[in-house]
Each structure stands twice: as C-alpha cells, then as structure tokens.
A and B are shown apart, each in its own frame.
Chain A
C-alpha cells in the first residue's frame, strides 16, 4: 500500500534560516501529495498540495515540488519566521482516492528569534 516517510524532528532553526523538511513516498498509481501544518493547540490546516508530477505547490512562502522520479515532495522555505513553529505533516492519498489520507510521522519545527 501507499506510505510516507518523513524527516524526523525536531528541527530547530534561527529566524530567517532556510528550511527543508524531507518527504518521500511509495505509492501505486498517481497519488496527490500534501503538506499539512498543525500549529500549537490547533487542528490541521492544508499548507499546500500537488496533484501530478512536476507540480509545485506553494503557500505562505513554503514550496514543494512533486518529483515522481525520486518519489519525493520536500518542503522548503527560504526564510522562516517564529510564527512558522508548528508540526508539519506530509501526506498522500491512499489507494481509495483523495478521501483517505496517509500521513507521515510529522516533523516539529521550532524557530527561535
């Protein structure tokens, strides 16, 4: 079945540093890929998505490119802020379509001033 392997955290960065959180996947077919963010004490929010190979999802300065050849969907941001401190989850659609999501383990990001 489909699965997601996500970079383990926690990741600790200084403000304005460059961020990369690695995500690789195994899947049959052509899943959609997502990054969700969970801020402290809150639910999950969709950060960005990509539905086909070579698509780039972007939002709030974050980007991720759907790389079929390397089965990856790494999350990047050029300059992080303290407000980006959260847990980030990589996810993909299961074999049942986009209504069943398979999540990575999550990566906690802490950004310090």
Chain B
C-alpha cells in the first residue's frame, strides 16, 4: 500500500534558524514526489516535483532533495512568512491521471 509519513508533526523555529522537514514514503512505481505549502483556509500551493533519487530543486530559501526512501525539505534562514503547513505527497503510475497520496503535513512556525 502506498504510504507517506512526514516528521516532525510540528516545528517551531527562530527566524534565521535553518532546519529540515522529512518525508518518508513507500510506493510502487514512483512517478513523482511533491512538496506543497498550505496556508490556513487555502488550497495547497505547489512548490516542487522530484522524479528520481538524487534530484534536488531549489526555490528561494527552500531546497528539496530525494532518495529512494525519503525526501527532505531544507529551509535556510527562514522568515516568519515561511510559517505554514508543508505537505509531501507521492504519485504512482505514469500520468497526471494517477492519484496523489498526501502525508499528514508538518506545521512550521517561525518566530520573529
């Protein structure tokens, strides 16, 4: 059964304090691993797609990496506006018609 586990459940950091969020997954035939940001009361906002082990992608203060079993979302020198829930999800299969399975998310809070 396809499964996604995120840790920690919640993370509180001081502004400028770098850290990493973990996403462990088991899936038969990974098509892609996704990272989303979700603010309260809003839909998920796409951040990254990773397709194969060893792949890395960066966007501003965020960097996502992928291995065969897990993915990390590294946050460098975070700011209060980075506070949100970060969701990891996996998609098996061969097209966008395949369903996406979400992890439970990590609630990130950045203190000024």
A and B associate in one complex: no
Which residues of B pack against A, CB within 8 Å? none
